[in-house]
A = this chain, B = another copy of it.
């Protein structure tokens, strides 16, 4: 990265490094046979986490052509006929991708520090996942997709218990399964609205009034109440109509789409380095908490829940202290609104804890925690029976998730445990943070506001020439993502190890 940074600003033609710089690309052929034995053969003991998890992984990137190369260009042109390709970053060949390395159709192989927008947990073509993907249970889940609310499969409880629920956050022992982050959040919001109205109504036994039933059919109060979910400035919670109403990341995400008139509170703008700005940051967080409580008490549309990300991800990797989040838990509790933690991007190990909100040491659990991305399936956890609606069919849809993806998440959890990947991510993150901190001192004009200390590999910094930097990195074989206006965000997989991080923090290679 040092060389990347030094060269940022001097746009030079994309060079083609000598193939001898890197090991040759390893082409991975996906076999349909169970690969458990392969997994056992190629993987070291989990106890020694500094040995490579996947010895047969490429030793580094291979750059054969400018990206996109001729084959990629052909594939992009082909796709453009029927599919919007304007957000395309890179055409991939996943059959040739392995571990932390993503391949393209031209034989280029890049170190992937973005991981499908933080969504690949244990590496491309992971042999243990391949075994799960080719199991009879998976085959049945793929071809016999159930309507889980009506006709669950006999082993659905067991799939949940040995998978999704095995990693349920403390205090939350129930789950509503969904398809992606957006609908996970929206179903959590729906649960919050039903809960709030039931309390206002006087309990689960109180029947809906005729007026409520009539007005609901016409989208009018009181059946369709004016109530709200409070979110924070710069937050991202999804793109559907309810979730988008709580998303406050960028105008381009929201323009022209009708939205609910729901409140937003300020999210702390912390100053870095944190150790030199403690007082000021404390005041900033107190200000934001006060604003939040004021909105809960006074906003014209009653607040049913507050939703927050442990680290605002799409909004630019904005952090707040554990004390801030404990404050939110207290405020929501004393004002009788729910506290929803959106762990769609932060969850499943990336921060060095399985759930990022474990860093907070909450006295009382969050009311709901939503998940997706690295879980490959989605939904929300809850622990309070009152969050089950008072009647069936209020929270319902045809599929209610996907057993195939739930089975995959179970395999991911097993792989995380087998290789101690949460611990690995904590350790690798420390190593990366220290290295980036040294670089930031050398290149303060390129690395600013380094953040994520103690948060695993969930690291970010601001770079005034961010887009140029990301482009250059890609040309040299390192795929990195941005977020917000100027943030470079590192979102490596949980199998990212020190030796993968070296090129990012060692000068010059």
Q: Which residue numbers of A lie inside 8 Å of B, CB to CB?
A: 29-34, 71-72, 75, 78-79, 81-95, 97, 102, 104-105, 116-117, 119-120, 124-126, 129-130, 132-147, 149-154, 156-158, 160-161, 165, 173-177, 179-183, 186, 189-190, 193-194, 196-198, 208, 212-214, 216-220, 223-228, 238-243, 245, 248, 251-262, 264, 372-373, 376, 388-389, 391-399, 404, 408
Contact = CB atoms under 8 A, between A and B. Distances in A.
B150 A78 contact: no
B119 A393 contact: no
A57 B71 CA distance: 46
A19 to B, nearest CB: 21
User: Which of A34, A82, A150 is most buried by chain B, counting CB atoms within 10 A of its CB?
Assistant: A82
Given A149-B88, A176-B84, A136 B30 contact: yes
A410 to B, nearest CB: 13
A180 B182 contact: no
B251 A154 contact: no
Contact of A139 (B32, B88, B97): B32
Most chain B beta-carbon contacts within 10 A, residue among A136, A157, A251: A157
Contacts of A194: 255-257
Given A82-B165, A216-B259, A253-B394, 20 more contacts: A29-B136, A32-B33, A32-B34, A32-B136, A32-B139, A78-B158, A83-B160, A87-B149, A87-B150, A91-B154, A94-B153, A119-B147, A129-B142, A130-B143, A179-B183, A181-B398, A182-B397, A196-B256, A224-B258, A256-B394
Copies of the protein in its oligomer: 2
A164 to B, nearest CB: 9
8 contacts: A32-B139, A92-B151, A134-B134, A180-B397, A193-B256, A224-B254, A252-B391, A255-B394
Contact of A134 (B84, B139, B227): B139
B242 A154 contact: no
Contacts of A116: 145-147, 150-151, 398
A215 to B, nearest CB: 9
Nearest to A263: B219
A156 B262 CA distance: 38
A241 B241 contact: yes
B135 A32 contact: yes
A408 B396 CA distance: 24
Contact of A398 (B71, B119, B150, B260): B119
